[in-house]
Structures are given as C-alpha cells and as structure tokens.
Structure 1
Amino acid sequence: MKRRILGGTGISVSEYALGAMMFGAWGNKDHDESVRIVHRALDAGINFVDTADIYSSGESEEIVGKALKDRRDDVVLATKVHNQMGPDDNHRGNSRRWITRAVEDSLRRLGTDHIDLYQIHRPDPATDVEETLDVLTDLVRSGKVRAVGCSTFPAEQIVEAHWVSERRGYVRFRTEQPPYSILARSVEAAVLPTAQRYGMGVLTWGPLSAGWLSGRYTQATDIDLDSGTTRTALERHKFDPSLPENAAKLTAVNELAKLAGEAGLSLPHLAVAFVRAHPAVSSVIIGPRTLEQLDDLLIGADVELTGDVLDRIDEIVPPGVDLNRADAYYVPPALADASLRRR
C-alpha cells in the first residue's frame, strides 16, 4: 500500500483509508467480523482508520476501539463530531459546550488517550467558526487531539476558517473530507483547489457513490425502492430511476462499466482509481461491510488510470458536475430554509 503525506501535518497515511461507517447497526452487526475487517486492512498496509461518533450511535467507535486495542500506535485514527447524539438539542453541533463533551465520549469509546485527526463533520450555521476553532485549539494543546479537519465544507467556509485561524492564532483545519466520485464531481471546481491552496490533506468519501459504482445497478429494476430499511428506500431522491438525474446516473454507470471492461478493470476498481488520481487527494476512504468487499477493493489498490481512460471518463461525466445535486450532501442554509429568502 503506497503512502502519502497528509497535507502539511507530516503524517504519513496509506492511499486507502478504512472507513468504519458500516460497522455496527448501520451495516455489519457482527462485531467480531468487523474487527477482522480492521485487522485485514492493517495487515494489507492500510494505516489510516476513519470513523465518527454518529455512526451507529457510537457503536462504530466502540468496534474500532476493540480492533485497535493492541495496535493503536501503528494507526492514524480519525473520528468526527457534529451530529445529534442525544435527545437534547445541545447534544450536537460545533459549540464549545458540545465538542468538549463529545471528544471525551469518543476517547472513551475508542479506548485511547488521543485522536490523531478530529474532524468537524458538517458546518454549523448556529455556531461561529471562531467558537469551534477556539475549543479545537484547546484540545490540540491538551494533547487529546493531534490535528483537526473539516468534512463536507464548502470552499468559502474553508477559507473563512483559515482566515479566523490566522487572525486569532488558532489551530487550522489541516484536512477536508468531501464526497467525491465519478458521478459527484462538484468538489473539483472549488473545494479541491481551495484545499490545495491552503496545503490541506484531502481524504475523500463515497468513491462508489452509495453503491452506484459497485456494479450492483445496471438497470432500473435493480433498484429496490420498496424495502423500507434499505438505503435506496430511505434516500429515494438519490436512487429513484424515474427522476431524470438518477436516470442520467444509470446511463453513466453503464457507459463507465463498458469503459472499465475495455480497460481490463472492474467498475469499482475504475471508480476508486479515478478518485485516487486527483493530485489533491491524499487518501480515499473505502467503507467495506464485509471481508469479501474489502478483499476486492484491496486488489485494485495499485490500479493507475491512463490519460486516455481519464479523458473518456470526462466525456461521460464532465469535470465539476454532480449528476444529482443531492449527492453533494450539503445544502447551504440559504437554499434549504425558505425563511432565509423571504422578508
């Protein structure tokens, strides 16, 4: 497994990061198998593990903690804070009050005394970014956190955070974790160039675009919108093939599968190699639910796409384009809340 330096941190990380979102109730409920997945990934050369407090309501962090019990020093461990973790409205967000408590909860679940990369999972319009950076600075100085980053932040908020850090002498976001795949390329326009401009590491998530690029969906009838607990049913707006943007994804998937076959690759290997090829990307988060899925992704770890193949991908899905805007996973408050557009 090849390594890259994570932004300007000096931390060496594998080109694949193991994402733990599928460990626990959200995915694989077998803790022992999830632990084996972590160990298999580490044995294959992956040294970067990413989770979040919200994943299965803390269960993912607990599983990761079990898996790393005797291997913690060999792993760059990342987790995230922001999402609702309890019934109270203050059990969420990017405030000093919540982050101070949430980091202790994560440390306890992970069974460690420090987090290598602590990330703000989403922007919080209710909290001044100065408040957030202030408490993150305290956590770094206390030794509980080694570096801090953001996830799914728009470019303008990344810039604002860096300006505040410079003016106030706070630690700065060293990484950004955006969604990025062949079908969701909007981050190429501003987020990735902004990260490069500020010397940030980039660890991307969703290279298989929620399964669209796994080879699972080749026609509309492959998409099950009727099983209430499946992702396709819970996020219908991202899967319903009757919607034009999802019909466009299905067309693109079939063209990409043909291209992958011509290049002697599987569709998932093509998809992950595409993300890894961008010069801004430090590490690609893969999120296997089973050992078989992990093993298949590991086979493609050394795939390098030629310029001709990358040009063909650009023809199928143009640079900077999200075929479905919902796949950007962040809607600015001014667009999501109609009251902000009315007098």
Structure 2
Amino acid sequence: MQYGKIPGLNKPIARVVQGSTMIGSDLDETKSFALLDKVYALGGNTIDTAHVYSGGNSERIIGRWLQARGLRDKIVIITKGAAPSADRQRITPFDITADLHDSLVRLKTDHVDLYLLHRDDPSQPVEPIIDILNEHRRAGKILAFGGSNWSHQRIEAANAYALANGLEPFVASSPQYGLAEALGEPWPLCLSISGSTASKAREWYVENQLPVLAWSPLASGFFSGRFTRDNLHTFGDREWDRVCVSTYASEPNFQRLDRATALGSEKGLTAAQIALAFALNQPMNIFAVVGSTNIDTFNANVLASEVQLTPQEMDWLDLKSDSR
C-alpha cells in the first residue's frame, strides 16, 4: 500500500481508500467486519463513509467494528454530511452540525479525521460554512475538512475567506474522477472532473496540489467487463447498474475500455486495474475511493496503485493519441 498526506492529519492516508456504500446494505454486519478486517491487514487504514449511506447503517457498522477491534487511533475516518434531502438543500450551519453529531454517535468516536460536505449549494455564501466548520474543528470534533462535489471555484472562494480571516481552509476535495468521461450526474448535484470539459479544474488541482479523493474512479463498475455494447438492455433497476449504464456507457468510453483491456492483457492486469492506475498516475495529489466488496478486489486495487504508466500510454488510453 502506498500512502500520502492530508494537511491537518497526523496519520498516513492510504492511496486506495476503502469506500463503504455497500456496508449496511449489500453487506451485513458479519460480512462487513470480515471485509474491514482483511482491508486493514493489507494496509487499508482509510475508510470513506457518509451520513446518508445505507440510511446511517454504514457509519453504525463501521463504528461498531472500530470499537470491537480497538482500532480507532489507527484508522483514518472520512465521513460526509449535509447532503440534500428530497425536500431541500441542506448546506447550512444547522444541518452541518446536526449531521456531524449523528455521525460521531454512530461512529462511536469523539472526532472525525476528515469531514467533507457531501454536496454544495452555490446559492449559499461560503462565510457561514467556513465559520461553522472552524467552530467544530476548534472543539476537536473534526481534525480537518473539505468538500465533496464542490467546484474548484467555490473551494477557492471558501479558502480565500478563511485565509483573510485567520481561519482554517478546506484541505481536500472529493469529486468524481477517472478514465471514463461522465455523461451527466449519476445523482443530483454530483460533480465530475473527468473528460475534456473539466480540463481547467484538473489544471487547478495540479497547480494547487489540493488532495483529491476521487470517487468512482472505476465508473461504477464500467471497467469490470460486465458491461458491453450489446448487453446494456439486460441490466435492470439495480441502482449501481442503472448509474453505470446511464452515466458511462458511451461509445468513447467503450473505446477506452477496449484500450484498457488491451493494455492490461500486455501487462498481466485487468482493465479495471489499468483504469485505476490511470487515475493514480495523474499529476494531481490524488487518492482513489473504491468500494471494494471483497478482499480480492481490494488487493487488486492495491496492486494497481503501484503500476506506472507512461505519458504515451495515458494519452492513448484517454483517446488523445492513436499510438503509444
């Protein structure tokens, strides 16, 4: 396992972050405990969860696992709050505070290592948001904070206010990023920095080296090989299948999949490993959040994080060149 750093945290951060959308839904507590035990044994010390995952059961199970194993001081906990509800946007000091307090109880801890705002509402001013996050940081309830699905312009505005007022800034960002280009939002208010239209955002992240916790770098399973040009009609209403088909099943992405498969065959790797290596070889300060449901997949992702791709291979995979 390779590790990086995030300002404000004194623990190493695994470059392959274990996602947890499946914990408490697809995986019950027994299976979740077994998975987390094995992830930790392989060096996976960083877990990404959220207030809304599995109706709160993701955080609850992770909290019980941390308590049962006595590992709280060894694990980096990333959780997210203030996601919108079916009724309204919730990027307010009140909602941030309420969700954080829920998460602390569920996770059975007195602090979250990295707290991310799950969505943004650009109609809300950044000043009260930075103020309340700093209040919780001073109280020791969070060690550092950032935004998930926040544009780099909004992060820049928030951090400018923090700098001008002697406050702590956002230290990390979690957009969607990967080899496949998203066709749209898989869920409302999601933000991707993949593809040609987001090149300015990626340039900003390269220049500023703000840590990027890229979610869905494998495009919701698109690079698994399950999805082909001629079988898309066979997938039903299962959420992740629906998201994959509607968000990533385009001809350019199938061409990227073809190339990842071919390059992987030459290197003894899967298309998914090549796609993950593509993300982690970017010049951004990047970490990959991947929801491995079994230890073999997690181990494959760790191996992928050690793969070095040449600039020529990267351009070829991304359809920017026809030669490598």
Q: TM-score range by the shorter chain?
A: 0.7 to 0.9
Q: Which residue does the alignment assign to 1:71?
A: 71
CA 77–234 in structure 1, closer or farther in 2 if over 3 Å, else same: closer
For residues 33 and 191 of structure 1, what CA distance do their matches in structure 2 show? 38
TM-score for both structures, normalised by structure 2? 0.86
The answer to whether the Cα contact below 8 Å between 1:139 and 1:145 also exists between their aligned partners in 2 is: yes
Which is further off, 183-192 or 49-58?
183-192
Choose from 86, 100, 109 the match for 2:97.
Answer: 100
The answer to whether the Cα contact below 8 Å between 1:255 and 1:316 also exists between their aligned partners in 2 is: no
The question of 1:56 aligning with 2:58 is answered no
Letter of the structure 2 residue corresponding to residue 60 of structure 1: S
Q: Which residue does the alignment assign to 2:33?
A: 35
Q: CA deviation at 1:49?
A: 0.9
For residues 141 and 76 of structure 2, what CA distance do their matches in structure 1 show? 14
Size of the alignment, in residue pairs?
Answer: 307
Q: Which residue does the alignment assign to 2:263?
A: 259
The answer to whether the Cα contact below 8 Å between 1:252 and 1:316 also exists between their aligned partners in 2 is: no
The answer to whether the Cα contact below 8 Å between 2:8 and 2:143 also exists between their aligned partners in 1 is: no
Choose from 205, 226, 229 the match for 1:195.
Answer: 205
The question of 1:213 aligning with 2:217 is answered no
TM-score for both structures, normalised by structure 1? 0.81
Q: CA deviation at 1:45?
A: 0.8
Letter of the structure 1 residue corresponding to residue 65 of structure 2: A
CA 47–117 in structure 1, closer or farther in 2 if over 3 Å, else same: same
Q: Which residue does the alignment assign to 2:281?
A: 277
The answer to whether the Cα contact below 8 Å between 1:50 and 1:79 also exists between their aligned partners in 2 is: yes
Q: Which residue does the alignment assign to 2:188?
A: none
Letter of the structure 2 residue corresponding to residue 232 of structure 1: D
For residues 230 and 94 of structure 1, what CA distance do their matches in structure 2 show? 25
For residues 7 and 317 of structure 1, what CA distance do their matches in structure 2 show? 36
Q: What per-residue deviation string (whole Å, max 9, x for no partner) do you get for residues 189-224 of structure 1?
A: 233332344442121111111111122223321553
Q: Which residue does the alignment assign to 1:176?
A: 173
Letter of the structure 1 residue corresponding to residue 132 of structure 2: V
Letter of the structure 2 residue corresponding to residue 97 of structure 1: F
Any unmatched runs of 5+ in structure 1?
319-343
For residues 244 and 198 of structure 2, what CA distance do their matches in structure 1 show? 24
CA 188–247 in structure 1, closer or farther in 2 if over 3 Å, else same: closer
Choose from 260, 265, 272 the match for 1:268.
Answer: 272
> What does 1:1-343 align with in structure 2 at a 5 Å threshold?
1-7=1-7, 11-25=11-25, 28-69=26-67, 70-84=70-84, 89=88, 93-184=90-181, 185-186=194-195, 189-222=199-232, 224-225=234-235, 227-233=236-242, 237-238=246-247, 246-315=250-319
Q: CA deviation at 1:114?
A: 0.3
Let me know the Cα RMSD of the aligned residues.
2.4
- List 4+ stretches of structure 1 deviating above 6 A: none
The answer to whether the Cα contact below 8 Å between 1:217 and 1:250 also exists between their aligned partners in 2 is: no
Q: Which residue does the alignment assign to 1:321?
A: none
CA 151–247 in structure 1, closer or farther in 2 if over 3 Å, else same: same
CA 316–40 in structure 1, closer or farther in 2 if over 3 Å, else same: farther
For residues 257 and 320 of structure 2, what CA distance do their matches in structure 1 show? 9
Query: Identity, % of aligned pairs?
Result: 27
SS of residue matched to 1:169: coil
For residues 219 and 320 of structure 2, what CA distance do their matches in structure 1 show? 15
SS of residue matched to 2:101: helix
CA 231–286 in structure 1, closer or farther in 2 if over 3 Å, else same: closer
Q: CA deviation at 1:61?
A: 0.7
Letter of the structure 1 residue corresponding to residue 76 of structure 2: V
Which is further off, 127-136 or 247-256?
247-256
For residues 22 and 276 of structure 1, what CA distance do their matches in structure 2 show? 23
Any unmatched runs of 5+ in structure 2?
182-193
Which is further off, 299-308 or 163-172?
299-308
